[in-house]
Structure 1
Amino acid sequence: VSEEIQFGEVIFALTRYEDLCFTLKIVTLLYA
């Protein structure tokens, strides 16, 4: 069970990271 939770947390972290990178790209385009 703990392994499944860890895997879910990793996926969630990666999703958050992708969202952050996407947001940074938008901001860069707006202020470039």
Structure 2
Amino acid sequence: GTPGFFINGVKVVGAQPFQVFEQVIEAELKK
């Protein structure tokens, strides 16, 4: 299937560039 990842419950679908993960992780860490 399509690769998908959950980062603190935020679903990131597909083969995303690392920058996208970095943005999601940074946003989650600031919560």
The structure number with the bigger radius of gyration is: 1
Q: TM-score, normalised by structure 2?
A: 0.45
Q: TM-score, normalised by structure 1?
A: 0.44
Higher helix share: 1
Higher strand share: 2
